[in-house]
Structure formats: C-alpha cells, structure tokens
A and B are shown apart, each in its own frame.
Chain A
Amino acid sequence: MASFFLSNEFGLIVGICIFIAIFSWVDANFWSPFNLFVISRSAGVYALIGLSMMAVIATGGLSLAIGAIGVCAAMAFGWAIESAGLHWSASLAVALAVALALGYVNGWLVVRTGIHSFVITLATMSVFFGGMLFLSQGQSFRALPAEITEFGRLKVFSISALFLTAVAVALLLAAFYRFAALGREMLAAGACPEAAELSGVHSGRMFILCHVLSAGLAGIAALLVTARFGAAIPSMAGQLGQDWLMPGFLAPVLGGTLLSGGRVSVPGTVLGAILVTILANGLLRMSIGEFWVQAILGCLLLAAVLGDVMRKRYLAASGRA
C-alpha cells in the first residue's frame, strides 16, 4: 500500500484532482457536459498516442514515426472505403494491417541494422509520410459511413466514446503486459536484451513486436481521430506526423515509463494524458493573454512534476521515521 502512495500513478491522480479543483473553482462551467465530452475526447486520443509511444519506449528506444504510421493507417482506411468500396469493418482491418506492416518495417530495420531506433524512425517517418502524400496527393477522404462519424460524436454520460475506447484498449494492454508471456518477454528484452536472450527470449523478435504493437496502437489512435473529424486527412498529425511526438512522449514519461526501457505503466500513461489535457483545457478557459498560455502551461507542468518530487521525498522521509 505504501508503495502505491509513492507511485507515479498516485501522484498523477493527486495532480489531476488539484487542477480540477482549481479550474472548477475559477470557472463553474468547467463541469459542463460539453466540456467533459471535449476533455474526454482529446484525452482518449492523447492516451492512445502515449500508449503507442510507450510500447516502443519499452525497448529502450523510441519511434518518431508513430504519427506518420497513424496517418498512413487513417488514409488507408479512407481509401479502402472510398476508392476500394469496402465495408467499414473490412476497411478497419485494412487500416490496421497497414499500420502493423509499417511497424514491422521499423522493427525489422532497427533489429537488423543495429542502428538506434531514433535514426531509423526519423528516416522511415519521412518515407512513410512522403509515400502517403505521394499516393494521396494531399487529398482527404470524407465520404465515410455514418457509423464512423456517429461514433466520433457518441457519448456515454457525457464521456466520449473515443475515451472509452482508449480505456478499453489500455485495460487490454495492461493485462497484456501483466499476464501475457509475450508481454513479459517484451519488457524483459527491453530492459536487458542480452540477458533476456540468454534466458530464451528472442530479443530481436520482441523488439520487432514492440514496434508492431506500437504501430497498431498508433493506427487505432488515428482511426479515432478519423472518427472524430469524420474524415481521413493527411494533416491530422501535422507535418510528417510530428504533432504526435510531444503528447506521445509526455504521457508515458509523466506516467513513469522508463526511457531506458523495460518498465512501462499503462495506467500512468493514461493518467498522464488526462492530466495534460485537463491542464491545456483549463488554461484555455481562463482569460490569459492568448500568447502567454503556452508559457503558463510550461510553468504548470514544471510545478506539477516538482510537486510530485516533493511529495515522494516527503513520503519517503515520513515513512522511515
């Protein structure tokens, strides 16, 4: 129990509660159903992006290409529906297959060449995104079936279906890392590839699978974004998919995922995404000089992590006495 109070997850919950308290005190509208819906919708997408990055950070590497892979999956989805005329369920499969394949390419290159995943994914980010642009000529797919767009607007007690999807995926993923032999082996390989290899784990194969898993999660995130926009658009993750990088890193790192690999926290990542979304949303709702919002966001982030460190020090000190 004591270890729970020392954990990152607990710290994030405290942080979320504090910021919610502040924001709802400042602004009564904070709890409006629409705001809840909006926050949960963004948080759901950010959580999945974070989980996608987390899955590669588990190897001690990183992937700059998650945004590009996501966009490729979304565009493949749009193409399958509009140009190939497939049913949306088949199109989902096509989109995920594209994502998984691209993840495999990343993983294979990283393992086979032994070059750091940073450089590999820097290059493949360009290649994937460039290929997508060339094929799509920058045009969007808008004629999506009503099921998809309605899903994007669906809410359960003001909570967006996107968020619920993200939570469901997170639960599965948490169980995967906790209970599946494969998940355990991925973490072992990530923490110390050589030791894992000598214990009978195919470290190389695990690294590839981590990239594949990450790509699959990126694909799901992109499909959620597609549902939210009601369209598959090439710019949904920004130039080269780079807009996903910051939320991608922020959520798992706040959540306690080790950048050196081998340890992940699925609930921490989801909580990290929620914290960041609430911070951004709450700040935008206060009337701060528009150009200063970002500076204050930076300060609050710093305050949040510093507060967390002090909490841990305090608890550790009082725990011993």
Chain B
Amino acid sequence: METARYAFEARSVSKFFPGVKALSEVSLKLSAGSIHALLGENGAGKSTLIKIVTGVYQPDQGSLFCSGQACRFSGPRDAMAAGIGVVHQERNLIPRFSIAENIFLERNGRHLFRMIDYKALAREARPWLERLGLDLDPALPVSRLTVAKMQMVEIARALALRSRVLLLDEPTASLTPHEAEALFAVLRKLRDEGVSMLFVSHKLEEVEQLCDTVTVLRDGNNVCDARSTESLGRQDFVHLMIGRTEQVVTRRDREQEDVPPFLELKSVSSALGHRDISLAVRPGEIVGLYGLVGAGRSELAKVIIGRYPVTAGEIRVDQAPVKIRSVAQAIHRHGIGYVSEDRKHEGLILDHSVLENAGITVWRRLANCLGLVGDRSIRALVEPHIRKLEVRTPSLHQKVGLLSGGNQQKISVAKWLSAGVKLLIIDEPTVGIDIKSKAYLHELIHELADKGTAVLLISSDMPEMISLADRIVVMNAYRVQGELANTGEYAKVSAGIMNLIHD
C-alpha cells in the first residue's frame, strides 16, 4: 500500500475550538529516516496538529495512520505506545523533581507501587543528557535549571522514549546557537538511525540547514504537504507561509548625537550583582544590549525599572538623578516600560482577556476623576495596535492563554505601544514569533524610535540586533564589557561583539 511508505500519516484532519477553526482538512506525512519541517505563521495550527498526533486532542474529523495502519489515540499514552515522542512548545516539567525523574516520568504510570530506584534512574538518564552535550547531575531538581536547560531536559525525555516518530515543537526557541547546534547533531544522528522527525521553528535558517521535507500551514489549511526542501530557498518558505515575499526591514541611520540622553546609568551596582554599569540611551535611539544567556541583561532591566534596588551609582532620567522605587513609578512618573522575556509569568495574565492584557498599562491614564474607565475608551486606544500586529484572536475578549504562543508574544508587546512611554526596554521581543510578525515588530521598533522613543533592546539574536540597534552595549557576567557603534556590516560587528565578550 502507498501509505506504508510513511512512518506516520494524518489525513484530512480537522479540529475546532469554540469560536476557532484551528485545523481544516490538514494532511501530514512523515517518512522514516527524515526530518520534516512544519511551518506556518503564529496561530496557523502547528501546535494543534502536533497535539492531535500525540493523542492530546482527538481530531473532530480525519484519520491517523501509523506505518500504514489506521490508529486512534484516546490519550497520550496510546501515542507513546505507538512509538511517538514529543517535545511540546510549553514546558512540561515538575520543578521539584530531579532531572532524571522528569526524564522518566512516564514510567510512573506503569507500576504504581514499585519502589523507585533513584540511583538507577540517574544512571539511565546520564547517557541521554550526555548525548545532548549536557554536563548536569541528573539528581538535580529541575527548578534549579535555566529555561534553556529545562528545554534540553525535555528533549532528553523525548529521546529516552526511543520513539520511531519524534515531534519537536519549537525546541530551539530558548536555546543559544551553540546549544541548538548540539541538538541538530543529535537529530541528524537519529535520522540516520531511521527515526522520523517533525521539526517546528520560526528560524528559517535552521529549517534550511536541517530539514528534508516540509509541510506548510496557513490559517489551519495545508499550503503544501511533504514537499521536498531541496529546491526551496528561504524566500520560497516565506512565500509559502505568508503568501508573499519577505519584507526586509532596512536598517536606518539616525543621527542625533547632540540630544542629551533620556536615561543614563552611572557606575550602577545592584543587589543582584551588577557592578559598575554605565550606559546611556537617547530619545529616538535604539541601544542594543547583547550578551550570552546569563549575562545579567534581563536583571539589569529590572533594576532600571525599580523592581530591584540599586546599591551604588546613579540613575538619571532626563538628566535628573532619580530613585525609582517601584515599577509603577517607572511607568507612570518616568515613562519607562519593560517588555519581559518571560511572557507566561511576567508579561501576560494568561487568564485574562486580550483587551485586559493590552490595556493594563493605560487604565490609570484613561481613568476619569472618579477613577472609572470604560471598555470603550480602552478599546479605542488599544485596538489599532492589535490590528496592526495582526493578532489572531476570535475576539478581544478571548483569554490570552488560549492564543497561540506567537500571538501571545504580540500582545505582550502591544500593551506597551499604547502606554506611551518615553523609554521602552524590550527583552527578547521575537522569540517564537513568525517571520512576518517579526518584520512587523522590527518595523514597529524603528517607528517607535523615529517618533522619539528611546529604546533599549535586549536580544540574543545577533541578526536582529544588527538590523535594529544604533549602538550595541555588550555585557558579560553582570558587567559592561564595552560598546560599539553598529555599522550594519554583519561580519564585522558580530566579530567585534564576540571580541568584547571573550576579552
């Protein structure tokens, strides 16, 4: 039979949520020994498809085939039994459990009363960690890990299942290029061992580098299905995904050396361990803050907005020395806003609606003398921004937690656009965002700067940094290593940055 060629196949699968048609008649074919890319904009239905394949959701229509046999999954256990492993987009770890226990969590469903041998678990877990180039004690609780390491642990968990089909939903979103390389090496090895893999990413370079075939979704529909990537280039992917070619954001040169800085840090030290930090951001200027993960950039942002105390040095806003004691003060008195990198916990209130999340920064400003503020005035202010970012949501009253990951990220940026701040600190704005929205966001950041907003951009994405920033400040180990002007020449600037870091 024809289908037997595929390790896994989904045929004409549809899935409806209240008010949302997430997938309609989508097909997916995964061959053994190949890496298959699943592409699409935010909210196109990628994660939903993966959840159907892994038994988390049941399809409303359509059928699934494992190695040519029709199969039905009534739960994740069935999918696992059929040899399907997965790394979901969201983290699914038990923070207080050890790495080893998390990796083998699925075994807990088998024998409820057999004593767990933690030593043996750790022994078994170690090779999987090593395979990913992780030098971690398997007995360590997961809560002690950084987000990137947690991501790797989940990948290790999926590998440890020794599945024939492995689905990876944006596994590289929070990895450094170095860590991602280690992962790719493992994936290639698995491919050679005959494993069939599905890989979701918004980083097209990775797809080009890694994948053999590609399925593209647009608005829950197949644009193409198991097409070979050989003849496809970056622009073709883009075209398939968004129906037109990529909009290239041009770097602009802004010259206003003479304007006094809006924000100035002078030898600032903080309770979090920052030492002797000096930097300045002028109105209308985008200052990049680059560093490897753990350099203390996010923490510095939180110090600036008054979340953590400054222990020495001085912060000046509009040339006046200030003591910012709370975030509310930073926003409402000094006009400083912060887009968090951790949207789930710090950026958004997942249980609240789109409108409430996007409007939270303006409630106080819009309130009348009685402290009252109606939905209509908030809407008037917020809706244009949400429109502009093309947030895919059935209504402004949808819970943000039900949006796709990328759309959530858009909301967490959108709320600052309406806030009208004079300085915006943006932390990793485009993680998990599709290329179309990424371009929008970049355009938006430029626009903000053109209108005179001072922007401090934290990003670990070097191309992004170079296409946006006017100047780049490099941090390492909670100190500023140096600063360089961004000329826009990728090779030169990135070499300069690396030099500063490894000084």
Contact = CB atoms under 8 A, between A and B. Distances in A.
A and B touch in the complex (CB under 8 A): yes
Interface of A: 175, 179-182, 184-185, 187-188, 191-192, 194-202, 258, 262-263, 316, 319-320
Given A181-B371, A199-B415, A262 B352 contact: yes
A181 B327 contact: no
B498 interface: no
B4 interface: no
B307 A200 contact: no
B346 interface: yes
B93 interface: no
B363 A191 contact: no
A201 B328 contact: yes
Contacts of B361: 199-200
A264 B330 CA distance: 29
Contact of B360 (A175, A199, A202, A319): A199
21 contacts: A179-B372, A179-B373, A179-B374, A180-B371, A181-B366, A182-B371, A185-B363, A188-B349, A191-B350, A192-B350, A194-B345, A194-B346, A199-B327, A200-B328, A200-B332, A200-B360, A200-B361, A202-B328, A262-B349, A262-B351, A320-B16
B338 interface: yes
Contacts of B327: 197-200
Contact of A192 (B338, B349, B366, B370): B349
A181 B367 contact: yes
A54 B112 CA distance: 39
Contacts of A195: 340, 345-349
Nearest to B331: A200
Interface string B341-381: 00001111111100010001101101100111110000000
A contact patch SS: helix
B171 to A, nearest CB: 25
A258 B364 CA distance: 25
Contacts of A181: 363-364, 366-367, 371-373
Contacts of B348: 192, 195
Given A198-B340, A200-B327, 5 more contacts: A179-B374, A181-B364, A191-B351, A192-B349, A199-B331
A258 B338 CA distance: 28
Interface of B: 16, 18, 305, 307, 326-328, 330-332, 337-338, 340, 345-352, 356, 360-361, 363-364, 366-367, 370-374, 415, 419
A191 B326 CA distance: 19
B345 A180 contact: no
Given A184-B373, A198-B340, A200-B361, A258 B16 contact: no
Contact of B18 (A180, A258, A319): A319
Contacts of B331: 199-200
A197 B372 contact: no
Given A200-B361, A201-B328, A191 B352 contact: yes
A194 B372 CA distance: 24
Nearest to A262: B351
A191 B373 contact: no
A176 to B, nearest CB: 9
Contacts of A202: 326, 328
Contacts of B332: 200
List the 5 closest pairs (A to B, CB-CB), nearest first: A200-B331, A181-B367, A181-B363, A192-B349, A179-B372
Contacts of A192: 345, 348-351
A179 to B, nearest CB: 4
A192 B360 CA distance: 12
Contacts of B364: 181, 185, 200
Contacts of B366: 181
A194 B360 CA distance: 13
A203 B327 CA distance: 10
Nearest to B337: A200
A187 B360 CA distance: 11
Given A179-B374, A192-B345, A202-B328, A184 B338 contact: no
B349 A180 contact: no
Nearest to B338: A198
Nearest to B412: A195
Contacts of B16: 320
Contacts of A200: 327-328, 330-332, 337, 360-361, 364, 419
Contacts of B346: 194-195, 198
A318 to B, nearest CB: 13
B307 A197 contact: yes
Contacts of A191: 349-352
A262 B364 CA distance: 18
Given A192-B345, A194-B346, A319-B18, A263 B351 contact: yes
A208 to B, nearest CB: 14
A119 B57 CA distance: 40
Contacts of A320: 16, 18
Contact of B356 (A182, A188, A197, A316): A188
A179 B16 CA distance: 33
Contacts of A198: 305, 307, 327, 338, 340, 346-347
Contacts of A199: 327, 331, 360-361, 415
B18 A316 contact: yes
Contacts of A194: 345-346
A202 B306 CA distance: 12
B433 to A, nearest CB: 19
A188 B372 contact: no
Contacts of B305: 198
A179 B340 CA distance: 27
A180 B415 contact: no
- Residue from A179, A192, A195, A202 whose CB has the most chain B CB atoms within 10 Å: A195
Nearest to A179: B372
Contacts of A182: 371
A196 B419 CA distance: 14
- Residue from A175, A192, A202 whose CB has the most chain B CB atoms within 10 Å: A192
- Residue from A187, A191, A202 whose CB has the most chain B CB atoms within 10 Å: A191
B209 to A, nearest CB: 35
B296 to A, nearest CB: 17
A195 B358 CA distance: 12
A179 B374 CA distance: 5
B178 to A, nearest CB: 29
A198 B416 CA distance: 11
A122 to B, nearest CB: 25
Contacts of A185: 360, 363-364
B345 to A, nearest CB: 6
Contacts of A187: 352
Contacts of B351: 191-192, 258, 262-263
